[in-house]
Structure 1
Amino acid sequence: MKNILKIVSYTFAMTFLMIQCKPMPNSTSGDEKTFIIASQAVDCTGVAPMKCLQVKEKESDSWGNFYSNIEGFTYEPGFEYVLKVKTEKIENPPMDGSSIKYTLVQQVSKTKK
């Protein structure tokens, strides 16, 4: 009888612990990246001609066109920015849109250029 109580207690405790386990915030929803945004946007062509931000992740990287937008970020020409950005995969992106959503986490710096 004692063994049965121990087994039932153990099973209950393990079930309770399993129910309490939750994924860490952002563990599956996305990553955080640092973007350096150039002081000038450039002409580029996505679906139609447009202006693209110039972005790189490290000082040593080359600038690349950024065809999307960063939710919560307002670009002002003449300033170079360092941003912390959250990236999330979009389940069913539009045919002409990005499969990644970018959201501003923190504006680390804004430097007049």
Structure 2
Amino acid sequence: MKNILKILTVIFPLAVILTTTQCKPMANSASADEKMFIVASQTVDCTGVAPMKCLQIKEKESDSWGNLYSNIEGFIYEPGFEYVLKLKTEKITNPPADGSSIRYSLVQQVSKTKK
């Protein structure tokens, strides 16, 4: 019995140390990045799951406008204004079949210009 206790007093702390040092933090379900986007002063008709209005966005002034089929969390769009926004983009690991694979959220409204 004494031998078993001696073994347990050595093995148990060793097992705890090995277990805790081998644990890795859980991977995020999404990876995040911050980007600057220009949002056009008007929306356009587009079709996602159903006909809808899409914001027009681009990353650089020289880029062509592209449709944004999802919302920007924390941003309230007002027609007639062009915006420069700093957005956090997060890749969604398991997006719904009819949804975007990227989540956009407002970090900062850099500018709002009447157009």
When normalised by structure 1's length, the TM-score is: 0.74
Q: How many residues align?
A: 91
- Is residue 65 of structure 1 aligned with residue 67 of structure 2? yes
The superposition leaves residues 68-104 of structure 1 with CA deviations (integer Å, 9 ceiling, x where unpaired) of 1110001000000000000111122111001111110
Displaced runs of 4 or more, over 2 A? none
* 5+ residue gaps, structure 2: 1-20
Alpha-carbon distance in 1 for matches of 2:93, 2:83: 29
SS in 1 for 2:95: coil
Deviations, residues 29-66 of structure 1 (Å, cap 9, x unaligned) = 31111010000000011110000001000000011111
Give TM-score scaled by structure 2 length.
0.73
CA RMSD of aligned residues (A): 2.1
Q: Which has the larger radius of gyration?
A: 2
Q: Partner residue of 1:74?
A: 76
DSSP 3-state at the match of 1:68: coil
Separation in structure 2 between the aligned mates of residue 70 and residue 100 of structure 1, nearest angstrom: 10
Following superposition of structure 1 onto structure 2, how do residues 22-101 of structure 1 map, counting pairs within 5 Å?
A: 29-101=31-103
User: Identity over the aligned pairs, expressed in percent?
Assistant: 84
